Amino acid sequence: MSERFPGIWVHTADRTVHIQHGLIIRFFMHHSHAEFAPAVLRALDAYVHAIGPDTLAWYPDAEGDLRRMDASTWERTRQALLDTGTHTFVTLVDRREGAAGFRFEYEGISLETPNLLDDARRACIASFWLPSSYVEESGPTHVRELALELATSLPFTSGYASLVFSRGEQPVSVARQINKLCFRYPGVDVLEHPVSWDIGTRIPGAYWLTFLGQPVLGELGGAERLRARLSSPGTTVQELPGDRTVVTLGQWPEAGDLEAGENLPAYRELARVLEPWLYRTSSTRFDPDFPPEDKLRWERRFLD
């Protein structure tokens, strides 16, 4: 068990489950996939180079069953990412059973020829997962450098790197307990994939690494103005190519623990600065395990 990221024990009526931490690096691109398709492949190549060429060994077939990757499926994956059609989907994982430690997911869309149900605020989304063991063994500097390499490859409008619980295929009773615990550990991400359906150019939240692109960075007054508004120890603002920036909140990602008085003041300071541009879900899809009032409470966890 990790000392820095020990995970959590989830207790239900019939079982006790240990849920490990992972780390997610995620970017939103409010552009059409066709505009930057080769950049996605470069980002995947950088990720694979960092974690090892044989790590992502499985992919879901058309029925959702996991199949082992081989040379031909890798070639089809690369061609799928270079395809400039209206929608592109790729998922690769490191294991067939249990929660994936390493995982790559990409969904590319077209803003020019959307589906009938697409929102004009929909964005392409790229997600890269790392297990906590990798983060600890490699160190936060390496992980941050990897996130910056991925960011440099992609024309992001926003993005972040954050701790996340590795859920896997857990029973509903376990998922419900994790949903409750997100309010105790505010630094652990619970954003779901559908946030890309209407995020547009907004910012998903305040995280260990928060990537800011245009137009939000310009509306904030640029990197220098943003830097002047953040005074928490360990907070840095680094300018990136393309008039973008990344805000880093301390050396390591932190889960926080409100019951232990760890309320992550640096995260709260950044959230207050970003509040006018923060994402708020507009989805009308009802989830009985995480109803709208809970979603709003979680989205405002650093503000209220």
Q: Residue 6: inside a domain, yes or no?
A: no
From residue 150, give the alpha-carbon distance in Å to each of 46, 105, 228, 239.
7, 13, 27, 15
Cβ atoms < 10 Å from Cβ of 300? 14
Split into its structural domains, the chain has a count of: 1
Q: Residue 149: inside a domain, yes or no?
A: yes
Q: Residue 304: inside a domain, yes or no?
A: no
Q: Residue 270: inside a domain, yes or no?
A: yes
pTM: 0.94
Q: Residue 9: inside a domain, yes or no?
A: no
Model pLDDT for residues 149-198, shown as the tens digit of each residue? 999 999 999 999 999 987 666 667 777 777 788 899 999 998 877 889 89
Question: What pLDDT was estimated at residue 169?
Answer: 63
Confidence tier at 85 by pLDDT (50, 70, 90): confident
Q: Residue 277: inside a domain, yes or no?
A: yes
Domain ranges, residue 130: 15-299
Can you read off the two tokens belonging to residue 67?
Answer: 């199949």
**Residues near 282 by beta carbon (within 8 Å), at least 6 away in sequence:** 198
* Nearest in space to 281 (alpha carbons), one of 192, 180, 217, 165: 192
The answer to whether residue 287 scores a pLDDT higher than 90 is no
Distance in angstroms (rounded) separating the CA atoms of residues 299 and 255: 15
Q: Residue 119: inside a domain, yes or no?
A: yes
Model pLDDT for residues 47-82, shown as the tens digit of each residue? 999 999 999 999 999 888 999 999 999 999 999 999
Q: Residue 5: inside a domain, yes or no?
A: no
